[in-house]
Amino acid sequence: MLTSDMKRIVNEQRLGFVGTVSADGSPNVSPKGTFVVIDDEHIAFADIRSPGTLKNLRANPSVEVNFVDPFVRKGYRFKGTASIAEPESDIFVSCWPLFERYGALCDKINVIVMINVTRALPVITPAYDIGSTEDDLRRSWTSHFRKLQPNETFQE
């Protein structure tokens, strides 16, 4: 189900916006910056400080995660079902090496949330509908971020 481009976006962006359903039925969106691709059907994030998200997922495992490359304004939305892997579980142990790229944050991981992706759809800005290209958007957003962070170096 997960294409090579979907995996690329998750691996490059790492920051996914996780949507869950609260006990009162209201939506809850929380950014998570520890995403990894597990295989062709699963993505996961390390829970470091997500008590609300975990509470919601324990009550209702339905989840949607959005990843967007802010420079080209394209990405994906993944719908699925979450399962929570505790530290003693085989899933936690087998997935742990994928999170080592997060360095010192690994010591803070409480559980790993595994998402079985059942539907994946593209997220694309309407700017493409009026003829913008990836190069156009990359230049525009690079310029925008440079203005926000004038002392940072951004590659084009």
**pLDDT per residue as tens, the chain (156 positions):** 899 999 999 999 989 999 999 999 999 999 999 999 999 999 999 999 999 999 999 999 999 999 999 999 999 999 999 999 999 999 999 999 999 999 998 889 999 999 999 999 999 999 999 999 999 999 998 899 889 988 776 565
Domain count, the chain: 2
Verify that 84 and 155 share a domain, yes or no.
no
Give the integer Cα–Cα distance in Å for 31 and 35: 10
Are 116 and 140 within one domain? Answer: no
- Residue 14: the pLDDT is 86
In angstroms, the CA 66 to CA 85 distance is: 21
How far is Cα 116 from Cα 136, in angstroms, rounded to an integer? 35
Q: Which two tokens stand for residue 18?
A: 């996780």
| Pair (92, 139) in one structural domain | no
* Host domain of residue 153: 127-156
Task: Check if the beta carbon of residue 12 is closer than 8 Å to that of residue 51.
Answer: no
Listing from the earlier edge strand, what are the strands of the sheet with 74-85?
27-32, 16-21, 62-69, 74-85, 111-124, 42-47, 35-37
Residues 15 and 50 in one domain: yes
For residue 41, the tally of other CB atoms under 10 A from its CB is 13
Specify whether 14 is located in the same domain as 57.
Answer: yes
> CATH number, domain at 56?
2.30.110.10
Domain check: are 28 and 54 in the same one? Answer: yes
Write down the pTM of the prediction: 0.89
What is the rounded distance in angstroms from the CA atom of residue 94 to the CA atom of residue 58? 22
- Specify the pLDDT at position 146: 87
143 and 112 both lie in a single domain: no
| Judgement on whether residues 97 and 152 belong to the same structural domain of the protein | no
